[in-house]
Amino acid sequence: MAEAEGNTAQSQLNYKATSKGISINNINTRTMKMILTFSSLLALLGLCSRNSFGIIESGKNEKPEGKAVSYQYSYSGTMAYPINYFEVSTLEDGTIQLGYSHDDNDIHLVRVHEDALKKIEEMAAEYKLHKLAESYRPRAEVLDGYGWHVYIGYENGSISSGGSNAWPSAKLYSGVGAINNYLDSLKNAATPADSLGLKHHQDY
């Protein structure tokens, strides 16, 4: 009796679904496709800790304390001197020195105003550069291309980050660009009287 009632109920369900143009088999097929699609998305999101499109991030920076005391940035090709390079440091006499080179072995050294490092510190805080990962790399191995590295030294701690053919989010990396644009303006504003000479990349 129970079996007959079950068969009758199933027949009624099939009839109602079919009368509305809906097939139970179609519902099950669509449901399975949705489950498989959702599962694939979860698997893809879990493949790596990254911002998007397969960039692998590793290492974390702690938020530094105190004043910024140094800055260095380089962007290079595989077999070339840095295409773009900046460094800022304080000399023994308190002079703030900016070093720069553009696709050149020579680093040009100039004197800049005393609040240059303070400005770098403010921009690093504004763009929250301590949220940069220590390194970025693509999931697919790349044997050629370009690399970059940025380092900001503080009285207590530092921010260090770099990548090979991989970058952080545009929003985060724009903070590094803002600092470099600022240093580029200092470079352009320097006069011959501000020159402190030259050094070479291999002198490190």
Provide the residue-wise pLDDT of the chain in tens; the chain has 204 residues. 444 444 444 444 444 444 444 444 444 556 545 544 443 443 333 333 444 458 899 999 999 999 999 999 999 987 666 899 999 999 999 999 999 999 888 999 999 999 999 999 999 999 999 999 999 999 877 767 889 999 999 999 999 999 998 999 999 999 999 999 999 999 999 999 999 999 987 644
Q: Is residue 50 part of a domain?
A: no
Q: What residues contact 151, with CB distance under 8 A and at least 6 apart?
A: 70, 71, 72, 73, 158, 159, 160
How many structural domains comprise the chain?
Answer: 2
pTM score, two decimals? 0.71
8 is in which domain, residue-wise?
A: 2-45
Residues 152 and 173 in one domain: yes
Q: Is residue 157 part of a domain?
A: yes
List Cα–Cα distances, 192 to 46, 69, 100, 108, in angstroms: 55, 25, 15, 11
User: What's the CA gap between 29 and 198, in Å, rounded?
Assistant: 71
pLDDT confidence of residue 194? 97
> Among all chains, which residue has been given the structure tokens 């720069």?
100
Instruction: List residues bridging with 192 in a β-sheet.
Output: none
pLDDT confidence of residue 29? 58
Residues 118 and 172 in one domain: yes
Residues 68 and 164 in one domain: yes
In the chain the first and final C-alpha atoms are separated, in Å, by: 91
Q: Is residue 35 part of a domain?
A: yes
Residues 124 and 25 in one domain: no
pLDDT confidence of residue 34? 54
Q: Is 50 exposed, middle or buried (0-12, 13-18, 19+ CB in 10 A)?
A: buried
